[in-house]
């Protein structure tokens, strides 16, 4: 297992949308928001690339406001899709493969549908996939657990947002480390 190299990593934020978010358990949704904050900041500080998707945005709405603002600040425009796997959307595949990543970290909703199908398809492409367990949610906890299991059986590593962030950082010194350390406290 290779250390996550931010220069060849993508953080993928899947379908954290306004009309879908209220259906998530409150604690799980808060964990997703926390994980997204940590990973977006770590990506910014280390140079990891960020991509995002929105499932059927005319029906499920845009990405939730705080995350939408953070993505916009990073210059990321979510890619609309109707396929459950992000890899079913040609615009996403084109953007992803414009600089083929070695590692993709997948967070978002729902763990047992869009996240698991995307993780499986990325693994089938030969990408090293990481799914932070604190970065995914489903409407039901048993569905979330099933989604994590599906992702793992497909070949993804189940991890945490902090593990990914500190792997990208590589050492406990410098301004980037200080900034990420403040977020995880």
Domains in the chain, CATH or no CATH each: 6-184 (3.40.50.850)
The reported pLDDT for the residue numbered 2 is 79
Out of 19, 81, 142, 175, pick the active-site residue. Answer: 81
| Mean pLDDT of the chain, nearest integer | 97
The mean pLDDT of 57-85, rounded to a whole number, is 97
The mean pLDDT of 62-67, rounded to a whole number, is 97
The question of whether 114 is a catalytic residue gets the answer yes
- Give the tokens for residue 180: 């990420």
Is the overall model pTM greater than 0.95, yes or no?
A: yes
CB 111 within 8 A of CB 147: yes
Give the integer Cα–Cα distance in Å for 98 and 80.
Answer: 18
Contacts of 21 (CB under 8 A, 6+ apart): 29, 64, 109
The reported pLDDT for the residue numbered 57 is 97
Phi, psi of 128 (to 5 degrees): -80, 110
Out of 15, 121, 134, 167, pick the active-site residue. Answer: 15
Out of 5, 114, 121, 123, pick the active-site residue. Answer: 114
In the chain the first and final C-alpha atoms are separated, in Å, by 27
Q: Is 174 exposed, middle or buried (0-12, 13-18, 19+ CB in 10 A)?
A: exposed
The question of whether 81 is a catalytic residue gets the answer yes
The question of whether 178 is a catalytic residue gets the answer no
| SS3 state of residue 131 | strand
What angle (nearest 5°) sits at the alpha carbon of residue 98, between those of residues 95 and 104?
Answer: 70
The mean pLDDT of 59-66, rounded to a whole number, is 97
pLDDT tens figures, 133-176? 999 999 999 999 999 999 999 999 999 999 999 999 999 999 99
pLDDT tens figures, 107-139? 999 999 999 999 999 999 999 999 999 999 999
């Amino acid at each position: 297992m290779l250390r996550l190299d931010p220069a060849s990593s993508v953080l993928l934020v899947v379908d954290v949308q306004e009309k879908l978010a209220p259906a998530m358990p409150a604690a799980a949704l808060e964990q997703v928001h926390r994980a997204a904050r940590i990973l977006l900041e770590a990506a910014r500080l280390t140079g990891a690339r960020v991509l995002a998707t929105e499932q059927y945005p005319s029906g499920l709405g845009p990405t939730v406001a705080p995350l939408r603002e953070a993505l916009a600040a990073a210059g990321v425009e979510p890619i609309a899709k109707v396929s459950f796997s992000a890899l079913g959307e040609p615009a996403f595949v084109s953007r992803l493969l414009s600089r083929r990543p070695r590692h993709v970290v997948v967070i978002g909703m729902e763990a047992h549908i869009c996240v698991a199908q995307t993780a499986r398809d990325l693994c089938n492409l030969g990408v090293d996939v990481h799914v932070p367990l604190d970065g995914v949610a489903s409407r039901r906890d048993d569905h979330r657990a099933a989604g994590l299991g599906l992702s793992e059986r497909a070949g993804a590593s189940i991890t945490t947002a902090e593990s990914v962030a500190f792997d990208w950082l590589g050492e406990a010194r410098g301004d980037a480390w200080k900034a990420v350390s403040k977020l995880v406290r």
